[in-house]
Chains A and B, each alone.
Chain A
Amino acid sequence: KAGVTQTPRYLIKTRGQQVTLSCSPISGHRSVSWYQQTPGQGLQFLFEYFSETQRNKGNFPGRFSGRQFSNSRSEMNVSTLELGDSALYLCASSLVPPDRLGETQYFGPGTRLLVL
């Protein structure tokens, strides 16, 4: 069974631009969560989606948005990029939302974004 895939794997953008990252969950998984990992702030929760609905959102500005499609694939968008947005963006999928019976999340390889 294929794992969680994320595209692109690496991305270089300049300040002010916008970016869209994509995540394809494991087949059959309907829950997708996004995380940002930086050396300074560590791992931070961005959003959680289940059946095309955003269930939870972390403490990030409105420049960060996301969505989930009917095939469970998810995208996140960051507009007006800032230098501080440089990070590894991780996507994780699970069969059902993680709060149901302690469902395990499976993480993708991440997209490494560099903002210049």
Chain B
Amino acid sequence: ELKVEQNPLFLSMQEGKNYTIYCNYSTTSDRLYWYRQDPGKSLESLFVLLSNGAVKQEGRLMASLDTKARLSTLHITAAVHDLSATYFCAVASTGNQFYFGTGTSLTVIP
């Protein structure tokens, strides 16, 4: 079974700082997804990464994928309070089952 590990599980950072969330997965996959979940809310799709070396950016968030290392990163630049949420990565197996990471709970402190 495909395993997906995220770290850190909890992240408290000051506004204006940069930080990176890591997502490691155990077997080959050609698709990696990042989602955001606000407390009590559903999931919002952030990025879909399809190939090795893929990089996508939206505002203060940038995601990248290294399929050889089986690693994706979500980089946060100059954090603002609105980015406080839980971030999940998910990897799709060849059978198109989705495996989610444990989530990273991000709190941005003024």
Contacts and interface: CB of A to CB of B under 8 A. Distances in A.
Contacts of A90: 42-43
B48 interface: yes
Given A42-B103, A90-B43, A104-B45, A33 B31 contact: no
Interface residues of A, number: 26
Chain B interface residue bracket vs A: 20 to 34
Contact of A107 (B44, B92, B95, B97): B44
A44 interface: yes
The interface centre, meaning the residue of A43, A101, A104 with most chain B CB atoms within 10 A of its CB, is A43
Secondary structure at chain B's binding surface: helix, strand, loop or mixed?
strand
Interface string A76-116: 00000000000000101000011101111111111000000
B27 to A, nearest CB: 15
Contacts of A92: 43
Contacts of A58: 97
A109 B50 contact: no
Contacts of B50: 101-102
A63 interface: no
Interface string B43-78: 111001110000000000000000000000000000
B98 A33 contact: yes
Nearest to A101: B50
A75 interface: no
A58 B103 CA distance: 19
Contacts of B44: 107
B42 A98 contact: no
A59 B1 contact: yes
B100 to A, nearest CB: 4
Contacts of B25: none
Interface of B: 1, 31, 33, 35, 41-45, 48-50, 88, 90, 92, 95-103
20 contacts: A35-B100, A42-B101, A42-B103, A43-B90, A43-B103, A45-B97, A48-B96, A90-B42, A92-B43, A97-B96, A98-B31, A98-B96, A102-B31, A102-B49, A103-B48, A104-B45, A107-B35, A107-B43, A107-B45, A110-B42
